[in-house]
Amino acid sequence: MSESRAHRSLVVAGTGSGAGKTTVTIGLMAALRRRGMTVQGFKCGPDYIDPTYHKAVTGRPSRNLDSWMLTADTVKEIYDRASRDADISIIEGVMGFYDGKDPLSNTGSTAEISLLLDCPVLLVVNCQSMARSAAAIVKGFQCLEPRARIAAVFANKVGSDGHYRIVKEAIEQECGIPVIGYMKREDALSVPERHLGLVPSIERGELGGLFETLADRIDETVDMDRLLELAQASERPAVPEPRLFAEPSRRYRVRMAVARDAAFHFYYPENLELLELYGAELVYFSPLAGEPLPKDVQGLYIGGGFPEEFAERLSAQTQVTDSIRIAVERGLPTLAECGGFMYLTGAIGDTQGRSYPMLGLVPGQVTMQTKLAALGLREVTGAEGNFLLPAGETARGHEFHYSVYEPQSELPHAYETKGLRGAKKDGCLLHQTVAGYTHLHFASNPGIVARWLECCEAYGQ
């Protein structure tokens, strides 16, 4: 076991979705960076978009911590590995503090992550249209799980300085914990809704002004010295010797092409790092920029993203689509997840009835909807013929998309998925390609990596 040592950490949790925890998280990160601190961001749950904000603010890749997808030891290893050289870790929660996989337990919730890592919690409360009642809300959160260390409260969306004082006095008297700061109801200070197409604007730096403004507000209204004292009150949990990132028994000599641009960028950092640990040389390319599949590669990874936002441009890049289509048809071992799966179909149809041809490898097309088509954690069981996840093998991940796939003919399914609404067949197998809507976290079954690279190596011989 590695020894435990003092470490600043803080979980930013909300009373529910919409409480403002993302805005508060980003503001705190920006204010801490301004103090010259190295800030490591984390996100509870499987979300890809909030970590993109974290990276833009901190300059470091943000990591997902999910106690349902991953084992407790794996969560600790990912946390320890990423935060070891940071001055402070800021962990943004998901939904409400106690919301997770199971309404009857803490499984998969922000609360479970805070207990697992023994981190103090800053509870963000939407105080709009309430005064003393805010204390009742905080008291309820304290009582539901007494082991959770709710160390302080952030009063969000207050109407005035006077409103803040009333809320602060009530909470501190009834709950015995400090209210360390607030933000007023100002639409200009809200992080834009995480709609399709927003992430590319983050990557272009278009929200830099917002980050600076949030840092200004946090510096004005938050007792940062007190916050750092509360964050210092934790010890880094002792973690087992690395298992996920232990030295592999063998390495594979493989060049793996990875599509990465504004259309395709949803990858868990650990997925890419595990491929590299096992010997893969990752070669990034941008289909959106007209870059064809790199030469002399033995594998291809096309992650999720927003191909529907760029469907017309992607459709026009015929040199790119031809290069990928030919390679896949020749048996290039390929994984295409969500947006990557959409790219492999015959076409992407938008909500205005327009249709844009894609690679045409998967028969049928995907059509965008204005409402969410699927959202949730998934356990997947491999189907016969799946080279990544053989029949009976399981892995975990999540599904999140607004599109619906309309098949023209049947292909063998890639796996069976289980979620809150039961089991269903998902994805498809063709040539040496696994394609489907589910985003897999390789840390839930690292055998995926070795099996994939073994196929890649055989393909290259």
Q: Which residues are catalytic?
A: 338
Residue labelled with tokens 């730096």: 205
| The amino acid at 419 | G
Residue 199 buriedness (CB in 10 A; 0-12 / 13-18 / 19+): buried
Bridge partners of 156? 126, 183
Bridge partners of 415? 382, 426
